[in-house]
Amino acid sequence: MEKVKKGTWVRIHAVALGVADRAANIPEDTRSVPLEQWTKGRLLEDASMGDEVQVKTACGRIATGNLVEVNPQYELNYGKLVPELIEIGESLRGMLWREDK
């Protein structure tokens, strides 16, 4: 596997609290899984995907975790069209502007 170069902007993942360490008074479905964490930063040494690495984050903090993504991207979008919203707009504009014409 090709090495990811030192200095690359990456996302890392770590387990913040294992199942045994979770707080007592939380719902069962939450307590039965670990508390996980992700952050981003510049890689301090060359590494391969999945390796435990250290990064320097945006505020200059050194964080440790497993390398999971290189040049992490935002996958946000506006979702699939919800056609009901078109209908609400049409009907409201109809009620206010078209009905009396």
Choosing from 1, 27, 98, 101, the residue that interacts with another protein (CB under 8 A) is 27
The nearest distance, CB 54 to another protein, in angstroms, is 14
Determine if 96 is a binding residue for another protein (CB under 8 A): yes
Determine if 22 is a binding residue for another protein (CB under 8 A): yes
Choosing from 3, 5, 30, 50, the residue that interacts with another protein (CB under 8 A) is 30
34 contacts 13 by C-beta, under 8 angstroms: no
- The CA-CA-CA angle for residues 78, 80, 83, to 5°, reads 110
Determine if 39 is a binding residue for another protein (CB under 8 A): yes
70 contacts 81 by C-beta, under 8 angstroms: no
- Rounded Cα distance between 78 and 86, Å, is 14
Q: In 1-101, where do the E strands start and end?
A: 9-17, 35-43, 52-56, 62-70
The nearest distance, CB 4 to another protein, in angstroms, is 20
Residues in the site for another protein, rule: CB under 8 A?
Answer: 16-17, 20-23, 26-27, 29-30, 33-41, 57-61, 74-82, 84-85, 87-89, 92-93, 95-96
